[in-house]
Amino acid sequence: MIVKRRVAIIAALSIAAMTALIVWKPTVLIYGLQAAGLYAAVAIPMGLVLGIVHIVNLAHGECMMLAAYAAYFGCKALGMDPLVAILPTAIVTAIFGWVVFQLTIRRALKAPELNQLILTFGLAIAFSQAINLIFTSQTYKMPLEYVSASMDIGDISFGVWSFVFVAVAIIFAYGLTFFLTKTMTGKAAVAVGQNPRGAAIVGIDVYRTYGLVFALALALVGAMGALFLTKSAIFPGVGSPFTMKSFCLIAMAGIGNIPGILGASVLLGVAENFLRAFRPTRDWAEIVFFVLIIVVILARSLKGRKS
């Protein structure tokens, strides 16, 4: 009862804050939600891997970068739009993910966490340097007209394309929740995530499940890579900042809480854009990210100690 009441209060306060923002500074909310969509859509696959395989994939952003390069050159060769390339890229990266898991990550699952971190960090460097060697640091960007689609509200003109990331983040979050709670494979994955030994005793192939989950996460990363092409230029280092942001969002949401990543992303996106909207605080937008993480984790620790 108390919990329900608290949730209702938070929801009411959030709605009130959003309404105030819409009236006072609508662009803060618009751009904040757009940024949140991008952050969440990239972070959710990492959250899946961390929640079930229990490995921090420091090559997460680099995997998205590889997918973006694959999609770019696929699109250039076949004259495709990146939106058409989403599915083929997802399939290719799923296969790539399966192979990477079997060749590398599987071997380190029983190793100390530090070894796992070093392994995925090594993969990140290998991926970015390989792309640097092959394609140099030259940037590539697909010129697309629809990404400049615009909408007017009163005197304000703003881009609407980035709302696609909001939609993708919601689809990822609720699609994965459905998969993990309603399908046999998903339930098996949750079981393996919660207790791998117990899952193995009841006949679940633990390593196959890990491999499937990793491949699924990379499929989502691949889809995001192709979609990311519509928004950003690509270059060897384009993915790495997303690894850290994604990890921090997962830490804010709580490991295994995939829908929670949506909430954390909205908080971060809106807070960043709120600070950017005012001249004196414009340069503080990057700091808010770390401040929020510290506050949330600190609050959670204090709450845990009390209970």
Partner 1 sequence: MKRGMFALAVLALFVGSAYAQGTIKIGGIWTLADITGKQGSAAAQLAVDEINAAGGVLGKKLELIVVDDEGKADKAAAAVEKLATVDKVDVFVGGMASGAELGKIPAFKKYNKVVMATGAAGSATVEKALGPSPESDFYFHLHPWDYNQGASYAEGWNAIQQKYPNIQIKKIFLAYEEGAFGKSSWDATKVLFGGDKRYTIDGASFKSALLGGGDYTAVLEAAKAFKPDLFIWAGYDADALPLLEQSKAMKFSPGIYLGAPPGWPIDFGASKLSPNVMLYGMWSTAMNNNNPSSAKFFKNYVAKYKEEPATYFAPLAYSAVYILADGIKAAGTTETTALVKALEATKYASPLGETITFKPSNIIKHQGITRQKILQWQNGEQQVIWPFEAATAAPVYPFPAWK
Residue 293 in the binding site for partner 1 (CB under 8 A) = no
231 binds partner 1 (CB under 8 A): yes
Amino acid identity at 24: W
Q: What is the DSSP string of 16-36?
A: HHHHHHHHH-HHHHHHHHHHH
Confirm or reject binding of residue 130 to partner 1 (CB under 8 A).
no
Q: Is 149 in the site for partner 1 (CB under 8 A)?
A: yes
Between CA 40 and CA 37 the distance in angstroms is: 5
**Is 194 a residue that touches partner 1 (CB under 8 A)?**
no
Q: Tell me if 96 contacts partner 1 by CB under 8 A.
A: no
Task: Please tell me the total number of residues recorded for the chain in this structure.
Answer: 307
Which of 158, 163, 179, 284 touches partner 1 (CB under 8 A)? 158
Nearest to 61 by CA among 78, 79, 41: 41
| Cα torsion through 24, 25, 29, 31, rounded to 10 | 170
Which amino acid is located at 303 in the chain?
A: K
Answer yes or no whether residue 7 interacts with partner 1 by CB under 8 A: no
- Give the one residue of 21, 29, 33, 35 binding partner 1; rule: CB under 8 A: 35
Q: By CB under 8 A, is residue 283 in contact with partner 1? A: yes
Interface residue with partner 1 among 12, 111, 233, 298 (CB under 8 A) is: 233
Minimum distance from CB of 291 to partner 1 (Å)? Answer: 17
Q: Dihedral sign, CA of 191, 197, 202, 203?
A: positive
Q: How far is the CB of 85 from partner 1 (least distance, A)?
A: 17
